[in-house]
Structure 1
Amino acid sequence: MENGLLDRAEGNANIHRWSEQTQLEKGDSIAAGHMSELSGYTRISVTQNNLQELKEIWDQWSNETKQLFYGNYGDLPYLLNVQIDEHLFRALAQFWNPAYSCFTFGEVDLVPTVEEYTALLRCPRFQVDRIYSRAANVPTFWKKLMAITGMSEQCITTRIKEKGECKCISWDALKGLILTHPDEAKKATTDLFHRLSKRVTSVPAILAETFRSLGICRKAGAGRFVGCAQLLLAWFYSHFRLIDKVICRVFFEDYSPLKDIITSTRKVDVPEENWIALLQNLQSKDVEWRAPWMILSEILYRCGSFDWVPLLGIWDAIGYAPLLVLRQFGLRQFLPATHGLTQSEFAYRGADYKKRVGEISSAWNKTCRLKGVAIGPATTLEYVEWRGRRINDNIPEPNAEGARPMEEYLQVMLSELEIMKQEFERKNLELEKRIAKLEEEKMYLSLDIDVQKIEVEKERKEKRKIEEDRDDLKEHYKKAQEMQSRNSALEEENKGLKSKVTELGRSLRWHRSHDSTVELKELKRKVEDLETTLQESKLRIEQLETQGDYLKGELHQSRGQDLAVRADVLSLMYGSSSDIGRELALLLDRVKTLGIRAKAYL
C-alpha cells in the first residue's frame, strides 16, 4: 500500500479497514483523563503587515512580468485583495483543536488540506510530493542571502537584524531589489521562495505555519497569528456558504478559485460574539462540505510510517490527519487514525530535530493516496460513536438551549449606542432625502421662475407691440381723417369744376352755333383764291414744259450737226491711208447715221 496507488473501490475499502484497525490498536490522539492546558478564550491578534507597498509594486509591473510571476508562484497575488475579517478570524481561533490539528465546530471537524490549498494557489510548477524542507546542513544566513539576493557580504552583514532567536533582513532593503529587478526569480525574499524556484510545493509549509501559529496562540492564551490569514479565510468562505452562488468553471484552464472568491464573497459585518455562538452550534447541514471549486482527485492521507501527513514548516513541524475530514472530498467519513498527532509538533532546535526532519523528508518519498467514489457527506456508525466519546482540547462546547438559526446569528446585534447611531443615520438619511427633495423642488421652482420670466418678457414685448400698433392705428386714423377731409374738399371742388365744365360746354356750343356762317364765308373766299392760284400755276407749268421741249430739240440738233462735221473731217484726215483709217471712217459713218436716226425722234 505504501509503494503505489490503490484501485479506487478497493483502495477505499482497504484504507477504511486499515484506519479503523489502527485506531483500535493504537488508540486516539489523546487518552481518557487528559487535562487540557488551553485557556477558555484566546486573545489572538490578526494584524497583518501593510500590503499597500506590495500592491503598488504589483501595479507597476507589466503584464508580461505578472504572467511570469503567475507561472512561477501561482495565484498568490490575488491574496493581496482578500479582506481580513478580524471578528471572524478571532472567533475561528477559539475553535482550533491542537489535539487533532483541526477546527472543531460543534459536531463538525474541518481543516484545510494539501489538495484544497494546492487548488486555491493553482501553481503549475508545484510537484506535489516535492516539499519544502530545511536541510540539515545549510549555509549561514548571510551566505544564503548573498546567493538569493546577489548582494555583497558587506551589504548583507550591515542589514541583518536579530528578531528573537532568528535573523532577518529589513523589508526596505529587499524592496529596493524587487523594484530594481522585478523579473528576476532569484531576487526572492526568503528561503521558501528560493526553494520554490526549484519546483518544490509550498503548500505543506503554509499549512504547517498556519497550524503551528494557531496552536501556539491557543496554548499561550494570546498572541499574534503568523501565517497566511487571507488564504485561511478564503478556504473558510468556500465551506461556509458565504460565497454567492456562481458557476465555477473548474475545468477551464484559466479558472482561478481565488479570483472567484474575491469577487463573489458576501460582505457581512457580524460581531465576534455572534460568530462564536454560531460556530459553537454548527451542524453538518450548515456546512458546504466539498468546496465548489474542488475537483475530486487522489487524496494524500499518510506518508511513510506515519499514520497521517507530517508537515515541515519554516520554523517547526506538525502533523494533520486528512482521514478526519473525508467529507471535504465528498467521501464517506469513517473512523480516522489519529494516534500520535499530539506529539507530531516540534521546533527546529534541540539535539534531535535534524533527525526528525530527515525522517519526515524521507516519509514524503513514500506517500500514500486513496481514490474514492463520491457518495455524499455520509458517516459510518463507528465514526459517529467515536465522535460522540472523543476527548477534545478546551474548545467551546455546543449549547443546544441557546441555538438559533444561522440567519439570526449573521444579523448584527446592536448595542444602545449603535442603535442610537443607526437612528441618527436613519434620521440623517431622511433629512438628506428631504433636502434632496427640497433641492429638487427648488430646482423645479427655479425652472418655473425662469419660465415665468420668459412669459412676462414675452407679454411685455406683446404689450409693447400692441401699444405700438395702437399708436400706428391712431396715426393712420388721423391721416385717414385728414384724407377724408381733403377728399371732401376735393369732391366739392370737383363738383364745382364739373359745373364750370358744363357751363363752358354750353358756352362753347353757343359760340360755335353763332360763328359758323362767318367762318364759312371766309373759307369759301380762301378756297377761291387757292383755285385761282392753282390755275395760274398750271399754266405756268405748261409754258415751262413747252419751253423745255424746245430747248431740248435745239440742243440735240446742234450736237448731231457737230458730230457729223467732225466725222467728215476725220474721214478726210485718215482716208484710206491705213486699215485703221478705214475702220475709223466706217465708225464715223455709223455715228453719223445714228445721229440722223436720232434726229427723227427729236
Structure 2
Amino acid sequence: MPDVKELRNLTSYVLDPLGFKARYGKLLPLLTTQVDEGLMSTLVQFYDPLYHCFSFPDFQLLPTLEEYAHLVGIPILDQVPFSGLESIPTSREIVDLLHIDESLIEAHMTTKGGIQGLPSDFLIAQATVYGKAMSEDAFEALFVLLIYGLVLFPNIDKFVDVNAIRIFSVLNPVPTLLGDAYFSLHLRNVKGGGVIVCCLPLLYKWFISHLPQTVAFKENKGCLRWSTRLMSLTNDDISWYDRVYDTVQIINYCGEFPNVPLLGTCGGISYNPILARRQLGFPLKDKPHNILLEGVFFQEGKDPQGLKVRMVRA
C-alpha cells in the first residue's frame, strides 16, 4: 500500500468537497480507507485462475465494472478507456493539464523502471503552493493526478508515471482499475506469489460491501482468522444485491468476445460478468458454457497472439 499521509494532508485545500466529488468522483474516501491487509492477503488465495473470480466453498464473487463505477463514482460510459496505444503526453500537454511552467516539467520528468513520469514529491510541493494560494483549478489538477498516480494506478514508489497522466488527462479510469485488479491477481497466481499492484482500497471496499453486515460477524468475538471466517460463509450470508444497480445498464460482453476484455496498465485479461448476475440482481439460470468463460490473459510486451489489438478493437 502506498503511503497516502501526504495526500490526506492536501485534502485540507479542497475548498468544495461536494463540487470535487461531482467533478472527479469518490476519490477522497479512498484516501481514508483503512485496508485490512490480513483480509486482503487471505482473499487473494481464493482467486480462481480458471474462471477469473473468487471461488468460495458455497459461492463465487467477482468485482464488476458496474460495482467499480459505483464505488469510484464515475459512470463507465462517460469516456474512452485506456488502451496503452495512446501517445506519451508532451511537456506542453502536461503544462496545459497541470498549469505548471514547461521548464519545471522538463527539469523533473524522469524515467524509472523503464517508464517516464514525475516524482510525487515535486507534484506534492507544487500542489501545496497552489493550495495555499487558493488557486482551485491548478491545485485540483495536481491533487487528482497524485491520487491517480499513487492510489488508483500505483506502480513505482513516490512516482507518478505517464500511464496515470494519460488516463487522468482524457480517459475513463474504471475499466483500467478493474483490469489492473484482475491482471494483478492473475499474475500473482501464475507466479505463485508476489505483491498485488492495483488500487487496493477499491478492491477492499468492493469485497467488504458483500460481507455479512451482522454484528456477530463484524465483532468476531471468537477472534477467528480471516481464512476460517471466509471459509464458513454460505450463499445466504452474502450481501448480494444493492438497489443502486436497479437502473444501471449491465455490460455482459464486448465486441467479438463472449465476455468482457479489460486492458490494464501492464497487460490484458477477460472477466466473466455472467458469473456475477446474482450480484447485479439477476438469477443465474444455467451453468455457463465453458466457451463463455474463455480466459484471456497477456502481459505487456508478451503477446504473441495479438490479443491487445483484438481487445482495443472490441
TM-score higher than 0.5: yes
Q: CA deviation at 1:241?
A: 1.6
SS in 2 for 1:310: strand
Which residue of structure 2 aligns with residue 5 of structure 1? none
Moved over 6 A (4+): none
Which residue of structure 1 aligns with residue 53 of structure 2? 102
Which residue of structure 1 aligns with residue 185 of structure 2? 214
Greater RCO structure (CA 8 Å; 6+ sep): 2
Deviations 1:178-222 (A, max 9, x none): 223452355434544654554x43211111111111222222233
8 Å CA contact 1:296, 1:329 repeated in 2:
no
Letter matched to residue 137 of structure 2: D
- Whole-angstrom distance in 2 between the partners of 1:83 and 1:206: 19
SS in 1 for 2:279: helix
Deviations 1:339-369 (A, max 9, x none): 386652222325768x644432332xxxxxx
Which residue of structure 1 aligns with residue 82 of structure 2? 133
SS in 1 for 2:283: coil
Which residue of structure 2 aligns with residue 287 of structure 1? 238
1:240 to 179, 197, 211: 211
SS in 1 for 2:194: strand
- Whole-angstrom distance in 2 between the partners of 1:231 and 1:282: 22
Which residue of structure 2 aligns with residue 19 of structure 1? none
- Whole-angstrom distance in 1 between the partners of 2:222 and 2:115: 38
2:33 to 71, 82, 87: 82
Which residue of structure 2 aligns with residue 42 of structure 1? none
Which residue of structure 2 aligns with residue 172 of structure 1? 121
8 Å CA contact 2:83, 2:312 repeated in 1:
no
2:2 to 49, 67, 72: 49
- Whole-angstrom distance in 1 between the partners of 2:301 and 2:90: 16
- Whole-angstrom distance in 1 between the partners of 2:182 and 2:262: 10
Q: CA deviation at 1:135?
A: 5.1
Q: CA deviation at 1:105?
A: 0.9
Query: Is 1:67 aligned to 2:18, yes or no?
Result: yes
8 Å CA contact 1:106, 1:279 repeated in 2:
no
Q: CA deviation at 1:108?
A: 0.9
Q: CA deviation at 1:62?
A: 1.4
8 Å CA contact 1:238, 1:292 repeated in 2:
no
SS in 2 for 1:300: coil
Query: Is 1:348 aligned to 2:300, yes or no?
Result: yes
Map 1:161-560; keep pairs closer than 5 Å: 161-181=110-130, 182-184=136-138, 186-187=141-142, 188-189=145-146, 190=149, 191-192=163-164, 195-196=167-168, 198=170, 200-242=171-213, 266=218, 274-291=225-242, 293-295=244-246, 297-333=248-284, 334-339=286-291, 343-350=295-302, 356-363=307-314
8 Å CA contact 1:162, 1:168 repeated in 2:
yes
Query: CA RMSD, aligned part only?
Result: 3.1
Deviations 1:366-419 (A, max 9, x none): xxxxxxxxxxxxxxxxxxxxxxxxxxxxxxxxxxxxxxxxxxxxxxxxxxxxxx
Q: Kindly tell me: are residues 135 and 87 of structure 1, through their superposed partners in 2, closer, same or farther at Cα, counting changes over 3 Å?
A: closer
- Whole-angstrom distance in 1 between the partners of 2:121 and 2:168: 23
Q: Kindly tell me: are residues 266 and 51 of structure 1, through their superposed partners in 2, closer, same or farther at Cα, counting changes over 3 Å?
A: farther
Q: CA deviation at 1:332?
A: 1.3
Which residue of structure 2 aligns with residue 58 of structure 1? 11
8 Å CA contact 2:52, 2:182 repeated in 1:
yes
Letter matched to residue 132 of structure 1: P
- Whole-angstrom distance in 2 between the partners of 1:228 and 1:328: 21
Deviations 1:303-331 (A, max 9, x none): 01100011122222111010012111221
Percent identical among aligned pairs is: 26
- Whole-angstrom distance in 1 between the partners of 2:193 and 2:179: 19
What stretches of structure 1 of length at least 5 have no aligned partner?
1-47, 245-264, 364-602
Q: CA deviation at 1:234?
A: 1.5
Q: Comparing 138-147 with 291-300, which one deviates more in the overlay?
A: 138-147
What stretches of structure 2 of length at least 5 have no aligned partner?
131-135, 150-162
- Whole-angstrom distance in 2 between the partners of 1:129 and 1:346: 26
Q: TM-score normalized by structure 1?
A: 0.43
Q: CA deviation at 1:284?
A: 1.1
Q: TM-score normalized by structure 2?
A: 0.79
Greater Cα radius of gyration, structure 1 or 2: 1
Letter matched to residue 215 of structure 1: H
Q: CA deviation at 1:269?
A: 8.6
Q: CA deviation at 1:280?
A: 2.9
Q: In the comparison of the two structures, how many residue pairs are matched?
A: 289
Q: Kindly tell me: are residues 69 and 356 of structure 1, through their superposed partners in 2, closer, same or farther at Cα, counting changes over 3 Å?
A: farther
